[in-house]
Amino acid sequence: MELQGKVLVAQGGGPTAVINQSLVGVVLESRKFTQVTKVYGAVNGVRGIINEGFLDLTQETTHNLEQVGTTPSSGLLSTREKPDEKYCLEMFRVMRAHDVRYFFYIGGNDSADTVRIVNEQAEKAGYEFRAIHIPKTIDNDLVVNDHTPGYGSAARFIAQAFIGANLDNAALPGVYVAVIMGRNAGFLTAASAVARKYPDDGPHLIYLPERPFSVEQFLKDIRARYDRFGRCVVAVSEGIVDSDGKPILTKLVDRVERDAHGNIQLSGTGILGDLLAQQVKQHLNIKRIRSDTFGYLQRSFFGCVSDVDQHEAREVGERAVQFALWHNLDGSVTIHRTGNYSVDYRLSPLGEIAGKTRTMPDEFIHDEGNDVTDTFLFYVRPLLGSGLQSPHRLRAPRVAKILKKEE
């Protein structure tokens, strides 16, 4: 017997350039099924559910949904709230009152945990209900998945930004340090390696949170690259830690900001980049030193979206609906690489995803801990999509000097 009732879809956590593709995939696919009476969207994620802040997406035009699908950031807006058992019980109470029988939540590992708890509440109450988590995160840190929607576009931004940074640094040589998002996983920072085309291209050094960071070794590495190339471009993950697992930021500054959850504020401050640049100024005799922090630009950048990322984000939304309505299943949609390049979508148990964090595997990281391997480049390139721009250099020979001949 078909389970009849409403669909509710929500978005949680940080926005991405393609999260709306998943939203549109859920809405359009749901509207094909006769047992779906309405399709609701929760404004501001789980907070919107608690407050009954719903949009009736059954009445949204297909044309406008497609336009929203190609627009970055969260069309339904988002929230950083992490629901506990009590919170999820209230969510379930609201959904039950509105006859919601299908719940789709687009987000990261915390969102998967929310779906798991709400689903357990429905089971305890004997309420017929389907709940599916749809993957999303630019950090690419969801376990089981080969990669996650949102990462490909953010990685494309990082790669292209470093192409520009490297060209700038080649024109006016010096040391350039860029700090990139990634508290525990270095996938985004690693994508900077795609910028390299010629043997002397940067980034010349890449530091990830998966390997202990030493300021002393950092300075030695820069000295060696600078002496070799006459310049040095560096990519650093915001979450780099020392050999004891202590954030480097806490070793370079006396007081640090913390977010609402008590975590050290890493993104959007610019402090780490400034402090690392200061270390280079103090200890190395190099005049031109610059630093940048890639805070939030890559999350919802309009002009740098991977078409592969877009297509997969749409499909995970569609497949979530198919798993729930065709097959009566709960779980988390996961992406699995099946070829070079192709993927398949499967449904994994929520308990395997919820609350867990994936990090860069050893085979992706260079033995010295300051670069990535060709294995990583083979992994990441298809995710960046088509039409990635490539720089070129002048190849004309130099003209012989007349007045400035060497004696």
- Give a yes or no: residue 406 inside a domain: no
What CATH number is associated with residue 289?
3.40.50.460
- Give a yes or no: residue 146 inside a domain: no
- Rounded to an integer, what distance in angstroms lies between the CA atom of residue 114 and that of residue 120? 10
347 and 237 housed in the same domain: no
**pLDDT score of 2:** 86
**pLDDT score of 92:** 97
Number of compact structural domains in the chain: 2
330 among known catalytic residues? no
16 and 132 housed in the same domain: yes
- Give a yes or no: residue 399 inside a domain: no
330 and 377 housed in the same domain: no
Task: Give me the residues paired with residue 7 across strands.
Answer: 39, 102
List the structure tokens of 306. 């991977």
**pLDDT score of 1:** 63
313 and 266 housed in the same domain: no
- Give a yes or no: residue 163 inside a domain: yes
Ranges of residues in the chain with a pLDDT under 70 are 1, 253-269, 406-407
What CATH number is associated with residue 322?
3.40.50.450
pLDDT, tens digit, 9 for 90 and up, residues 246-271 = 999 887 765 556 554 455 555 556 78
Q: Which domain holds residue 197?
A: 153-298+361-384
Active-site residue identified among 113, 139, 141, 309: 139
Q: Provide the residue type at 243 as one letter.
A: S
**pLDDT score of 379:** 98
Whether residue 19 contacts residue 154, with contact meaning beta carbons closer than 8 Å, is answered with no
282 and 224 housed in the same domain: yes
- Give a yes or no: residue 392 inside a domain: no
- Rounded to an integer, what distance in angstroms lies between the CA atom of residue 381 and that of residue 139? 16
24 and 81 housed in the same domain: yes
Tokens 């270095």 belong to residue: 186
List the structure tokens of 241. 């830690």
- Give a yes or no: residue 391 inside a domain: no
39 and 186 housed in the same domain: no
Residues near 358 by beta carbon (within 8 Å), at least 6 away in sequence: 140, 141, 142, 143, 145, 185
345 and 287 housed in the same domain: no
87 and 72 housed in the same domain: yes
Residues near 176 by beta carbon (within 8 Å), at least 6 away in sequence: 165, 168, 169, 202, 231, 232, 233, 234, 289, 290, 291, 292
Task: Give me the residues paired with residue 176 across strands.
Answer: 233, 290
**pLDDT score of 265:** 52
100 and 164 housed in the same domain: no
Strand order in the sheet with 205-207: 205-207, 232-237, 175-180, 289-294
**pLDDT score of 65:** 98
CA 406 to chain centre: 53
346 and 380 housed in the same domain: no
- Give a yes or no: residue 402 inside a domain: no
- Give a yes or no: residue 407 inside a domain: no
128 and 243 housed in the same domain: no
**pLDDT score of 240:** 96
Whether residue 183 contacts residue 209, with contact meaning beta carbons closer than 8 Å, is answered with yes
Tokens 């949170």 belong to residue: 209
